[in-house]
Amino acid sequence: MRGRFITFEGGEGTGKSTHSTLLADRLKSLGTRVVLTREPGGSPGAEVIRHVLLSGVAKPLGIEAEAVLFAAARGDHVRNTIEPALAQGVWVVCDRFLDSTRVYQGSLGHLDPLFIRALERVTIGDLKPDLTFVLDVPAEIGLARASKRRGERVADRFEAESRAFHEALREAYREIVAAEPGRCIAIDATEPKAAVAERIWKTVTERFDSTRVSSLPAGAAS
Ligand code: Z5A
């Protein structure tokens, strides 16, 4: 049986890394085989492109070029990490995926939706997440969390955007949830981590049937 594909989305500091890791660990503790991955990145080729994108050196090339680079990274990630895992019955938990491009390059970058859809066709084809958690916190809370975590490190290309940019991000994610309520679940991530993790777990067990989640074949979880 094909694995399940779960993605985490949301703005800066909303808790995507935290909760994708917690979910993957909980699934593994039940014997489920899981790949925990992220975008941009998640495969050797895509990790190289990640560095180019987050360092900001691609910004002067323009928003279309950045979108093409995100797409190139995604194509490599899908071919080399995500699809092989799903085909072997391994679950994939991914920190950011196609909705990030729709929001950052589409809604916020004002790229033509047809261009975004064309990139999706060539990078992911028919592949869609089975479930997407959109973590929602006010921009000021997310930015404060991210800044605390960052410490003295310099803000990356996207962290350095304005408060208004991050508020617009939140709104764009809300529109995605409204447009695809079957796939996307909004989670109030202002609550303490444990409460957020419990809501996510409850959704996963309800969506995929708790008896099957816990009885998936045990194996070398990666
Ligand atoms: N991007 C794009 O433009 N187009 C695309 O197609 C893709 C990406 C795929 C990737 O940056 C950037 O690329 C991203 C969009 C763009 N830029 N931005 N902004 P990244 O991977 O380096 O960073 P990120 O994706 O934004 O995630 P993040 O900054 O690492 O945040 P996070 O993963 O959502 O948060 P976290 O690390 O789990 O938590 C942040 C801190 O808050 C941490 O100290 C936690 O312990 C704490 N935390 C988490 N949850 C809670 C709760 N509930 N209470 C209190 N504290 C909490």
Does 221 have pLDDT greater than 50?
no
Neighbours of 160 (CB within 10 A): 10
Q: Which domains does the chain have, with CATH numbers?
A: 5-213 (3.40.50.300)
In this prediction, residue 195 carries a pLDDT of: 98
Amino acid found at 201? W
Nearest CA to ligand 1 atom 6: 101
pLDDT tens digits for range 64-105? 999 999 999 999 999 999 999 999 999 999 999 999 999 999
Which of 70, 30, 32, 36 minimizes the C-alpha distance to 54?
70
Contact 107 CB / ligand 1 (< 6 Å): no
Contact 193 CB / ligand 1 (< 6 Å): yes
Distance 103 CA to ligand 1 centre (A): 14
Residue with the two structure tokens 């869609």:
128
Does 216 have pLDDT greater than 70?
no
Characterise 97 by phi-psi region: left (phi > 0), alpha (psi -120 to 50), beta (else).
beta
Nearest CA to ligand 1 atom 4: 101
Q: How far apart are CA 200 and CA 132, in angstroms?
A: 10
Q: How far apart are CA 7 and CA 129, in angstroms?
A: 6
Contact 6, 130 (CB under 8 A): yes
According to DSSP, residue 60 is labeled G
